[in-house]
Amino acid sequence: MRALVQRIAQAEVAIGEDVIGKSGPGLLILVCAMQGDDAAIATSLAAKIAKLRVFKDEGGKMNRALLDTGGSALVVSQFTLAADTRRGNRPGFSAAATPTEGEALYIAFADALQAQGIGVETGSFGADMQVSLVNDGPVTIWLDTDAT
């Protein structure tokens, strides 16, 4: 799985005029299931992100995790994280999981993050959404389970 994690003051996701999920302060997590991923990978990634020390401690150092801060997470599916741009100018997305597998793993990831004790709101899988955020820091971290 791939995830782009952003520390946020606030974020929201909307479909048209309807806000369907929001968070803040905490994390905006854009997530993509890749071919070959399974529920164990989704659970492992959720645990890693819950413990990712990207929040400042009393000394101003990034030593605190979402679990430590009591913050929440907005989880949004984004298959375009699977983009392959090695050939030509049009990205290819064949490395992404199928929509059926991707949705199941997206839900498994959000559920696993919530099971860690984190408040989670989500976007709508496969929908055309508008995501807005106030990035805090800015702090943006790229995670790829194939690279760890």
| Residues catalogued as catalytic | 78-80
Both tokens assigned to 1: 């799985």
Cα–Cα dist 97/40, whole Å: 15
What backbone phi and psi angles, to 5 degrees, belong to 116? -75, -10
How many residues are there in the chain? Answer: 148
Cα–Cα dist 125/36, whole Å: 19
Say if CB 137 and CB 9 are below 8 A apart: no
The H-or-E segment that residue 121 falls in is strand 119-122
CA dihedral 124→130→135→140, nearest 10 degrees, is 60
